[in-house]
Homo-oligomer: A and B are copies of this chain.
Amino acid sequence: MQPITKLVAVQARIMDFISDNKKEITIYDIARELNISPATVSRGLNDHPAVKSNTKKKIVQLAKDLGYQSNTFASNLRKKRTNTIGLILPTINSNFHSSVIAGVEKVANDAGYTLLISQSLEAAGKEAANAKTMFNSRVDGLLVSLAYETNNIEHFQPFINKGIPLIFYDRVFEHKNCTSIVIDNFKAGYEVTQHLISQGAKKLVHITGNLNRNVYADRLKGFKLALMENEIPFSKDNVLAININKEEDLQEAITTILGMPERPDGIFVANDTSAVILIKALKKEKIKVPGDIMVVGFNNDPISKVIEPNLTTVNYPGYEMGEVAARNLINHLNGVMDIISTNTIILRSDLIIRESSLRNL
């Protein structure tokens, strides 16, 4: 066969492949075309050192010409590794959580991992269902921020049993086999409260969420400690533990506060969204913030810089937390780092003082 003729023939066959949109191009097609074995093609495509560079070049070129796309499933099936990491979180559409996702996605993507995301919508049942799906999808590792309602982590047991790394962040659960990534909520709560007291607050109230969740429980502990250190008596009235994501519950709490015989002069709210709603309500009642009542939030959401007065809050580094969680998981998966050795990672958080808590201006 003359070179030209041969070229034409190859071309024709290429066109055959391309036009026939029913069949996928596989390594077998490439192998046949090049008169080599599928094994070599597989190695060539994976840049295996034991393939002659010339052969490799031919393989890669033809693969490109034919528009070959590796079949992830066949590969995963055989390799028993999916290069996928799972992420289960309460809700996607909040500033904090979407920042976390962005951070995780960035790191995962750069490391060649695919990301599987699902939201529990704060329901334990859905969290369990999601976990099961993730397990079936054979994620290489799992990142979790627990649902509001979750009381135990039985539904994650299969991962633990199978040695699939499981990392909790934000809303964590203590477990000897799992790493937790958090900020020091205790310290943050303590600092917030100390700050309020240093600004002259005498009667403090803390509006918080489900105390089964570490984030809320720890902040409360910090709150209590600060009161104690300043010899301010603590009673149940100082804390309103509500379902902080439910606006009605929050409204009720606000009503409670407004109706208190002796109104508080410093309120520490466990998230910015709620703090902003509170401030708006106070302003409507002609109560001055910070003049009459100082308010501090938590998270450093964008709204905290928009509300007037600007809201004092705690910077909760979501994006960074996502990055750290993902990096940790991936390092562990790649054997760079042993995850068991690090049980808890604490990220830096900062009290950001703005007008809403500055009485001594």
Contacts and interface: CB of A to CB of B under 8 A. Distances in A.
A119 B115 CA distance: 11
Nearest to A121: B106
A300 to B, nearest CB: 13
Contact of A116 (B101, B116, B161, B306): B116
Interface residues of A, number: 52
Given A72-B137, A118-B115, A133-B114, A94 B98 contact: yes
Interface string A89-104: 0011111011101100
Interface stretch (A30-38, A63-71, A238-246, A256-264): A63-71
B102 A91 contact: yes
A276 interface: yes
Given A98-B98, A307-B306, A308-B308, A69 B136 contact: yes
A138 interface: yes
Interface stretch (A73-81, A142-150, A224-232): A73-81
Given A21-B162, A119-B102, A74 B77 contact: yes
A331 interface: no
A189 B101 CA distance: 32
A109 interface: yes
Nearest to A161: B21
Contacts of A138: 71-73
A198 B107 CA distance: 49
Interface in A284-343: 302-303, 306-308, 318-319
Given A138-B72, A306-B307, A109 B118 contact: yes
A125 interface: no
A93, A97, A109, A114: which has the most chain B beta carbons within 10 Å? A93
Contacts of A117: 101, 105, 115, 117
A133 B70 CA distance: 10
A163 B106 CA distance: 29
A135 interface: yes
B136 A70 contact: yes
A302 B276 CA distance: 11
A21 B177 CA distance: 16
A69 B302 contact: no
Contacts of A74: 73, 77
A273 B95 CA distance: 13
A130 B108 CA distance: 12
B319 A93 contact: yes
Contacts of A133: 114
Contact of A93 (B67, B95, B118, B119): B95
Contact of A77 (B69, B77, B98): B77
A99 B93 CA distance: 5
A303 B69 CA distance: 44
A68 to B, nearest CB: 10
Contacts of A71: 77, 136, 138
Given A105-B118, A109-B130, A273-B302, 5 more contacts: A70-B136, A105-B117, A115-B116, A115-B117, A303-B306
Top 6 nearest A-B pairs by Cβ distance?
A: A98-B98, A73-B77, A93-B102, A93-B98, A92-B102, A73-B73
10 contacts: A71-B138, A73-B138, A74-B77, A92-B98, A93-B102, A98-B98, A106-B119, A114-B133, A115-B118, A306-B307
